[in-house]
Amino acid sequence: MTGRFLGAACAALVLLGTPVQAQARIQCVTFARAHSLVQLAGNARDWWARALGLYQRGQAPQPGSVLAFRATGSMPMGHVAVVSKVIDARHVLLDHANWSRPGMVERGVMAVDVSAAGDWSAVRVWHSPSRTLGLRVSPAFGFIYPAAEAAMATARTAGAALGLKR
């Protein structure tokens, strides 16, 4: 019995000391697709163009919409993030991955529209390592609205025009 126990203990130590393959780091596109109703593929920098004709796009944040960032030298693939809460016209909370550190998922982080026109074309996003609201201003296209949300908004608008109440 002692020999079996010792053998099992040695086997367990060998297994504990054996390196395991690291889990793949989640990318912003994978995260946004999994946590929103916007189902696009490809690099984040291409989502705005790919959404044309499939999803409504605009400059006003809505919960569940995806904020699409433009590609830059420091962000060559662009970035996408899901709006979890709208605080006001210029402040939202985002859920996203791969922003502050590779593969890191962040929820409820502040993003601020710092554009002169108030159109979300220039954004500062909370950066965890520096504990500041953005080390840089990031250019953005705007918001991609989930298809279901767009259909409901259109129905509400049409109903209001006809004097119908929900």
What total number of domains does the chain contain? Answer: 1
CA 18, 20, 23: angle at the middle one, nearest 5? 165
CB neighbourhood size of 18 (10 A):
7
Residue 142 domain-assigned (yes or no): yes
Q: Mean per-residue pLDDT for 50-79?
A: 97
Q: Is residue 93 part of a domain?
A: yes
pLDDT one-digit tens code per residue, 88-118 = 999 999 999 999 999 999 999 999 999 999 9
When the pLDDT of each residue in the chain is averaged and rounded to a whole number, the result is 83
Structural domain contains residue 96? yes
Q: Is 4 among the domain residues?
A: no
Please give the residue that has the higher pLDDT: either 143 or 5.
Answer: 143
Q: Are 109 and 92 in contact (CB under 8 A)?
A: no
Report the share of the chain in percent with pLDDT over 70. 74
The CATH number for 105's domain is: 3.90.1720.10
The CB-side HSE value for 140 (13 A sphere, CA atoms) comes to: 32
Q: State the residue for tokens 């201003």.
A: 137
Q: What is the pLDDT, as a whole number, of residue 69? A: 98
* 138 Cβ neighbours under 8 A, 6+ residues apart: 69, 70, 72, 75, 79, 122, 123, 124, 125
Residue 18 lies in a domain: no
pTM: 0.76
* Residue 149: predicted pLDDT: 52
Query: What confidence tens digit (pLDDT) does each residue in 124-162 have?
Result: 999 999 999 988 999 999 999 998 655 555 455 555 555
Is the model's pLDDT at 166 over the cut of 70? no
Residue span of the structural domain in which 96 resides: 28-161
Q: Does residue 62 form part of some domain?
A: yes
Residue 3 pLDDT level (bands cut at 50, 70, 90) = very low
| Assigned domain for 20 exists | no
- pLDDT score, position 11: 37
State the residue for tokens 């946590």: 35
22 occurs within a structural domain: no
**DSSP-derived secondary structure for 46-99:** GHHHHHTTTS-EESS--TT-EEEEPP-SS-TT-EEEEEEEEEETTEEEEEEESS
